[in-house]
Structure 1
Amino acid sequence: MNATSEPENVVARKMIPKAAERLPPYIVVSESDLHLRRIWGNPREDTAAGMYLLALTVGYTEKANVNATVHKFDVVLYHYDGKTTEWDADFAWSKNKTIHVSTRKQAKWWYAKRFLHPSIVAPYDYVFLWDEDVDATFFDADEYVRMRIVQKHGLEISQPALDITTGGLHTYDVTVRRTSSEVHRSSCGPGEEGRRPCSGFVEVMAPLFGREAWACVWHMVQNDLVDGWGLDWNFWRCVDDPEAQVGVVDAQFVVHRGVPTLLAQGSKPEDGGGSGSGSGGGGARERRWAEFHAFTWRLQDAEQKAHQAALPSVIVKEKAPAQAEAPPPQDG
Structure 2
Amino acid sequence: MVSTWSGDRGASVTGVINLSFAVCILCKLMKLSRMAIFTRSRSTVSRKPNESMRLIVTIFVGVVFGFLVGLSFPTCLLTKFNRSSDVLTTIDFQYTEYTSPSLSSPTSVQHSLGNNRSSANATSNKIWVPSNPRGAERLPPGIVRAESDLYLRRLWGDPNEDLTSTPKYLVTFTVGYNQRKNIDAAVKKFSGNFTILLFHYDGRTTEWDEFEWSKEAIHVSVRRQTKWWFAKRFLHPDIVAPYDYIFIWDEDLGVEHFDAEKYIELVRKHGLEISQPGLEPKKWLTWQMTRRRGDHEVHKVTEEKPGRCDHPHVPPCAAFVEIMAPVFSRDAWRCVWHMIQNDLVHGWGLDFALRKCVEPAHEKIGVVDVQWIVHQSVPSLGNQGESKDGKAPWEGVRERCQNEWALFQTRFTRAEKAYFKSLNQTSHSL
TM-score range, shorter chain: 0.7 to 0.9
Indicate conservation of the 8 Å contact 2:318/2:362, yes or no: yes
| C-alpha displacement of 1:83 | 0.6
CA pair 33-15 structure 1, distance change in 2 beyond 3 A: farther
Map of 2:238 onto structure 1: 119
Alignment of 1:79-94 (within 5 A): 79-88=200-209, 90-94=210-214
Map of 1:285 onto structure 2: 398
Indicate conservation of the 8 Å contact 1:276/1:284, yes or no: no
CA pair 169-50 structure 1, distance change in 2 beyond 3 A: farther
Distance in 2 (alpha carbons) for counterparts of 1:275 and 1:219 = 37
Distance in 2 (alpha carbons) for counterparts of 1:307 and 1:83 = 47
Indicate conservation of the 8 Å contact 2:129/2:138, yes or no: no
Q: Which residue identity does 2:202 align to in structure 1?
A: D
SS in 2 for 1:109: helix
The one of 208, 221, 225 aligned to 1:102? 221
Q: Which residue identity does 2:198 align to in structure 1?
A: L
Indicate conservation of the 8 Å contact 2:131/2:137, yes or no: no
Confirm whether residue 186 of structure 1 aligns to residue 301 of structure 2.
yes
Distance in 2 (alpha carbons) for counterparts of 1:48 and 1:122 = 16
The one of 255, 259, 263 aligned to 2:374? 255
Q: Which residue identity does 1:41 align to in structure 2?
A: G
Map of 1:316 onto structure 2: none
Indicate conservation of the 8 Å contact 1:52/1:126, yes or no: yes
Distance in 2 (alpha carbons) for counterparts of 1:298 and 1:275 = 31
Distance in 2 (alpha carbons) for counterparts of 1:137 and 1:115 = 29
Map of 2:253 onto structure 1: 134
Indicate conservation of the 8 Å contact 1:34/1:76, yes or no: no
SS in 1 for 2:423: coil
| C-alpha displacement of 1:48 | 3.5
Map of 1:171 onto structure 2: 286
| C-alpha displacement of 1:32 | 1.0
Distance in 2 (alpha carbons) for counterparts of 1:184 and 1:62 = 31
What does the per-residue CA deviation read over 1:129-162, in whole Å, with 9 as the maximum and x for residues that have no partner?
Answer: 00111112221111111xx211111100000101
Unmatched tracts of structure 2, length 5 or more = 1-127, 425-430
Map of 1:306 onto structure 2: 419
What does the per-residue CA deviation read over 1:223-247, in whole Å, with 9 as the maximum and x for residues that have no partner?
Answer: 1100000000110000011110000
What does the per-residue CA deviation read over 1:196-216, in whole Å, with 9 as the maximum and x for residues that have no partner?
Answer: 112110000000000110000
Unmatched tracts of structure 1, length 5 or more = 1-11, 312-332
Map of 1:328 onto structure 2: none
The one of 157, 173, 194 aligned to 1:56? 173
CA pair 184-13 structure 1, distance change in 2 beyond 3 A: same
Distance in 2 (alpha carbons) for counterparts of 1:41 and 1:250 = 46
Alignment of 1:42-53 (within 5 A): 42-45=158-161, 46-53=163-170
| C-alpha displacement of 1:25 | 1.0
**Which structure has more RCO (C-alpha within 8 Å, separation ≥ 6)?**
1
What does the per-residue CA deviation read over 1:255-285, in whole Å, with 9 as the maximum and x for residues that have no partner?
Answer: 110101001101434xxxx76325xx00101
RMSD between aligned alpha carbons?
A: 1.9
Alignment of 1:15-30 (within 5 A): 16-30=132-146
| C-alpha displacement of 1:192 | 4.7
Q: Which residue identity does 2:391 align to in structure 1?
A: G
Map of 1:221 onto structure 2: 340
SS in 1 for 2:238: helix
Confirm whether residue 297 of structure 1 aligns to residue 410 of structure 2.
yes
TM-score, structure 2 length as denominator?
0.64
Confirm whether residue 160 of structure 1 aligns to residue 277 of structure 2.
yes
Higher helix share: 2
CA pair 308-192 structure 1, distance change in 2 beyond 3 A: closer
Confirm whether residue 240 of structure 1 aligns to residue 379 of structure 2.
no
Q: Which has the larger radius of gyration?
A: 2
